[in-house]
Amino acid sequence: MSKVKTGFFCQNCGYESAKWLGKCPSCQQWNTFVEELIQKDTKKSAAADWDDYHGNGSTSKKIQPLHLVKTKEHPRLVTIDAELNRVLGGGIVPGSIVLVAGEPGIGKSTLFLQMGLQLQDVVTLYISGEESEQQIKMRADRLNILNENFFLLTETSTQTIFNEIKKLKPQLIIVDSIQTLESPFIESAAGSVSQIRECAAEFQQFAKETNTPVFMIGHITKEGSIAGPKLLEHMVDTVLQFEGDRHYAYRILRTLKNRFGSTSELGIYQMNDTGMNAVANPSEILITQKEDQLSGIAIAATIEGQRPLLIEVQALVTQSVYGTPQRTVSGFDLRRLQLLLAVLEKRGGFHFGVKDVFLNIAGGLKVEDPSIDLAVLCALLSSFEDVAIPHNICFAGEVGLSGEIRAVNRIEQRIAEAEKLGFEKIIVSKYNQKGTLKQRHNIEVITMGRVEEVYRHLF
């Protein structure tokens, strides 16, 4: 009989210790260590032997020089969903393992059930440890997509799952969710650090040896990070975060890690009765269609990954009735806002120290691109002066501490997007003028170098 070993695992980062510790040496969190049983079994893992999965015979490993390794091109599996193809770097890579995390009820299961049903020529296996076959069938009926190559398996034991996989030999696997699976070789409860690590390792071995892509849907903690050990994110090839407010119809699929593409891509979806619909032109939905001119609103030309976006920045500046003025932001960095307010105080003489400031990025987006600095600053000035900015002007520029407007990258794409949406003027840094020719655009490109020039031009 094999020896049973007990270990202590940090529930926050997965750090393993031989004894209980009050503070985790890795992530510095307190009271996160939980004792778990680890069964050291001499039997092979459930996913250990995939030699004959594709009928190729033995695949023994041996040392060989790098220049003698033979490579062959595996075309990506391109889905109907253009947004998913974008965040994955152009399609699903054979043998890749993708982790998708998001809040409960955000639409993760709906999105990937829809993706599997749309791949008509691909044998897809959907493994669910959370829902019954009837629940999944009800969701599929709502999506109204028929696919005879789509198969279901409601099971949580990895040994049973891999036995069924060997019979079906699917070309794509979706696991919903990795926290519900348990390996018979680990004596811990499903969802514990050691179980998540072991189950993910078995699927990783399966994906690499059979060249089958695997999507693993994961949970998140109450702090918003992906549940389970940090090792889980290191093991997989791609990490996608599905975010958005459940009270809004729009969802954002963001790339956090991608070994096969850019990590700054995002896809935007709209939730409705028929599932997740990709939004082809998000700039139109992120800008409020209004008839009246309102103060405190400016349009910023930003870029997320390879995609240019026009977003609406809303600011409200009011007289403070308390001793300490409030600074409230949504979708923007609070410290960046304080920096811009300090620039306006020092370089422009505006007394924001006695004002409450509220800032919001419309549509529920979280923006980190510094090119929206100029739009934020203009929205603040517009609300401060209570003068509306003309609706046909947008902005693209970073603001420095000395009050200068700095150049931003890929200005041509931003100008083209603004022109496509019908804007007549765009204010950019004069240091972008070297690569920008006015006659190439039907939109008027206004170049400025200082914050004071923008204020005089607008107000």
The binding site comprises 102-109
SS3 call for 29: coil
Name which of 349, 457, 106, 358 is nearest 248 in CA terms: 106
Residues 6+ away with beta carbon under 8 Å from 415? 301, 396, 426, 428, 436, 441, 443, 445
Structure token pair of residue 293: 């001119």
Q: Binding site residues for ATP, as ranges?
A: 102-109
In contact, 159 and 45? CB cutoff 8 Å: no
SS3 call for 129: coil
Handedness of CA 409, 301, 90, 202 (dihedral sign): positive
Structure token pair of residue 176: 């919903």
Please spell the DSSP secondary structure of 146-197, one letter per residue. Answer: --TTEEEEE--BHHHHHHHHHHH--SEEEEE-GGG-B-TTS-S-TTSHHHHH
In contact, 257 and 238? CB cutoff 8 Å: yes
Radius of gyration of the chain (CA): 26
Strand ranges for 219-322 from DSSP E:
238-243, 250-258, 266-272, 275-278, 297-304, 307-319
